[in-house]
Amino acid sequence: MFDWTDRQNNDGGWAYRKGCSWTEPTAFVLLAQTAAGICAGAQRASGPCAGKDQRAFEAGLKYLFSVQRPDGGWSPQTGVAESTWVTALVAMLPEEAIGAERMKSALTWLEGQTGRESTWSYKLQQMIAGNRDRFPDGWPWFPGAAAWVIPTSLGILAFERALQRADSRRLRNRVNSGREFLIAHMCADGGWNHGGNHALGRDGDSYPETTGIALTALRGDTDPRVIARAKSAARRHLASCRTAEGIAWLRIGLAAHGEIVPAPLATLPRTTVDAALIKLADSHPGKNPLLI
């Protein structure tokens, strides 16, 4: 089994496999540790949280604090001078761990991000080409690019967590728009790929991991017929999927809709993110920060 502390870099962050720290694996390890009961915030100073896991958690937070960018977002790694989608992962951590001010600036940065297809120039271009589609706001991986399923799903989950702390019409609108984006990009088979569900007259096939992530983000007041189709696709993927990441996200996605499924087979975590996702999928839905 993965020992987080053994794999932690000296700067407090985690690599995908080895090498420099990245925001994504660091945030996922901290989310997995949160699901495992590591305490954050006021509880940290005393109480039951102690030992090396707690110290690893604190060091991981310290790393994230040290690399937050002035615009409020996080870059994928320190070599990249641009805030990106990984900001949503950090914003899913407990506010008491991140701190109210840091969380506020992260959410503000996220709120300012939409896919390029949300811009007036793109909509005009499409109108000229005779495309009458709606273009609901999703989130891009990288500023200036189109919105895609994974960053949109993570943006929804981050805003859902924020909405539990305090209601906000603006954030609620972005969540609804993001869900509309996901539904518009559902594949004909009921699941999701990255977002190209139809090209040159052909239907695109869905992927396990993207289906699981989108299903997780659609928890709540989504059309039950959409969810039924998506769950059916998730079950189909689960029967054949062999990747740790895919299986974990499918289990989390189904758990988000009340269906607790054991892992169909023991998978090999290839990366730190895989290992953290397995932990999250194995955790009680009431403690999983992706599902609370």
Partner 1 sequence: MNMTRRELLGAAAAGAVLTSCGKSAAPAKLVRHFPVSNVSITKAPAYDMSIYDTIYRIVSDHKLNVRGKRIVLKPNLVEFEPGTVINTHPMVTHATYEAFRKLGAAEVKIAEGPGHRRATLDLAEAAGYFATVPKFEESFTDLNLDEVAKRNIPGPVSKLKSLYLPHTVLDCDLLVSLPKMKTHHWAGATLSMKNLFGLVPGGVYGWPKNVLHWAGIAQSIVDLHHLFPRQFAIVDGIVGMEGNGPIQGTPKQAGVLVAGSDVAAVDATCCRIMGIDPAKIEYLQLARGEENLGETAFHQVGESLHTVRTPFHLIDPWKEMISL
Residue the block writes with tokens 């972005």: 174
Closest approach, Cβ 201 to partner 1, in A, equals: 3
Q: Interacting stretch for partner 1, rule CB under 8 A, among 65-73, 177-185, 196-204, 217-225?
A: 196-204
144 binds partner 1 (CB under 8 A): yes
202 binds partner 1 (CB under 8 A): yes
Binding mask 78-107 for partner 1 (x = CB under 8 A): -xxx--xx----------------------
Closest approach, Cβ 270 to partner 1, in A, equals: 5
The site that binds partner 1 (CB under 8 A) totals a number of residues, namely 47
Q: Interacting stretch for partner 1, rule CB under 8 A, among 65-73, 136-144, 168-176, 214-222?
A: 136-144
Beta bridge partners of 22: 14, 77
Contact criterion met (CB below 8 Å) for 115 and 137: yes
Residue the block writes with tokens 């409020």: 72
Burial of 19 (0-12, 13-18, 19+ CB in 10 A): exposed
Tokens matching residue 241: 């999927």
Q: Interacting stretch for partner 1, rule CB under 8 A, among 75-83, 153-161, 173-181, 226-234?
A: 75-83
Q: Is the dihedral of CA 24, 245, 112, 217 positive or negative?
A: negative
Residue the block writes with tokens 């109108």: 127
Among residues 228, 220, 137, 218, the alpha carbon closest in space to that of 183 is found at 218
- List alpha helices for 3-148, DSSP H: 4-7, 23-35, 52-67, 86-90, 95-98, 100-111, 120-128
Q: Interacting stretch for partner 1, rule CB under 8 A, among 171-179, 216-224, 238-246, 253-261?
A: 238-246
Tokens matching residue 133: 């589609």
Closest approach, Cβ 25 to partner 1, in A, equals: 9
Closest approach, Cβ 13 to partner 1, in A, equals: 13
User: Which own/partner pairs from 262-266 qualify as long-range (CB within 8 Å, at least 24 positions apart)?
Assistant: 264/238, 264/239
Residue numbers of the site for partner 1 (CB under 8 A)? 16-17, 19-20, 22, 24, 76-77, 79-81, 84-85, 116, 121, 124-126, 128-130, 140-142, 144-146, 148, 150-151, 193-194, 196, 199-202, 207, 209, 242-246, 270-271, 274
